Every structure is written in C-alpha cells, then in structure tokens.
C-alpha cells in the first residue's frame, strides 16, 4: 500500500496528512471514467442531456458515499480526535474518501487514467446500463429518472 492510498482514507480533521488533494484529483479522474463508461453503455439513442444526467447521478455526493460504504471504505476511514468515535462519518466525509481513493489510484499508477478506468469497471460493472431496456429507458429519461435508474443499478451491484 502506498502513501497515497493510505492518505485517501484520512479526513482533514486528523491533521496535515489528509485526503483533500487526492479527493480533488480523484473527482476529475472519476468524472472521466464515468463519462466514458456511460457513453459506451448507452447507445446512440441517448442524447447528450441524458448522458449528462446519467453521469451527474453517478458522481453525486450521495452516490459516492454509498460507494464508499458498499466497498467497506467507511470502516477504514480515519477522522480526527474531535470527531466523536460513536458517530458515523457524514455523507461528505464518505464521498471525499471515495473520490480520494480514485485520486490515489490515479497518482499511484503514474497518472494512468486507464488503470482508474479498469479498476472502476471491475468494481462497478455497468452491464445493467448497457441492456436494451436500459437504453430505451435512458432515451426517454428525465434527470430524475436517470438518477432513479442509476440508483436501481447501484442497488443491484453485488
């Protein structure tokens, strides 16, 4: 485990060694990966508005926080002494951990976006988004429906 990956789990309340910078670069790395995966999984039926809504739904704070929990990253995240030990981490804290891990993967791979893409795709397969039914749904989807479709996909990931 490299320093960057360890750093990804440390909230700024714990001190100078924290995940803020990694969350910043991880957000950008994740945006590109999600954009590519959504583009590839939805056929030409999907307009740019639909693609944008789907991507937006997949990089929202709540979605990122759920991802951190789904992967067990909430169990290893570290907050400062001022954060009550019996309190669960906030949505924002978990979302930052999620983004920071993608930033750490990006930095630790020598800034290789393909590595981030491969790891993300393995952890979160988009097979549900690429079905014909999902494509038809996406073609008629509003922003709210896109968010709902992404949530349904998310809930079905093992």
Active site residues: 27, 99
Name the 3-class secondary structure at 78. Answer: strand
Whether residue 35 contacts residue 126, with contact meaning beta carbons closer than 8 Å, is answered with no
How many of the other CB atoms lie within 10 Å of CB of 142? 11
The answer to whether the beta carbons of residues 107 and 29 sit under 8 Å apart is no
Cα distance between residue 98 and residue 65, in whole Å:
7
At which residue do the structure tokens 């494509």 appear?
135
CA–CA separation, 70 and 19 (whole Å): 19
Query: How far, CA to CA in Å, does 117 sit from each of 47, 97, 113?
Result: 23, 18, 6
């Amino acid at each position: 485990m490299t320093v960057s990956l360890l750093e990804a789990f440390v909230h700024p309340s714990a001190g100078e060694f924290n995940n803020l910078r990694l969350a910043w670069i991880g957000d950008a790395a994740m945006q590109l990966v999600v954009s590519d995966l959504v583009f590839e999984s939805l056929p030409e039926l999907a307009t740019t508005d639909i693609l944008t809504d789907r991507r937006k739904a997949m990089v929202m704070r709540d979605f990122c926080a759920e991802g951190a929990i789904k992967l067990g990253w909430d169990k290893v995240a570290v907050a400062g002494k001022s954060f009550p030990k019996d309190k669960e981490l906030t949505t924002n804290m978990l979302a930052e951990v999620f983004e920071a891990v993608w930033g750490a993967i990006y930095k630790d791979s020598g800034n290789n976006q393909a590595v981030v893409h491969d790891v993300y795709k393995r952890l979160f397969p988009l097979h549900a988004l690429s079905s014909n039914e999902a494509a038809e749904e996406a073609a008629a989807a509003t922003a709210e429906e896109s968010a709902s479709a992404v949530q349904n996909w998310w809930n079905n990931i093992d």
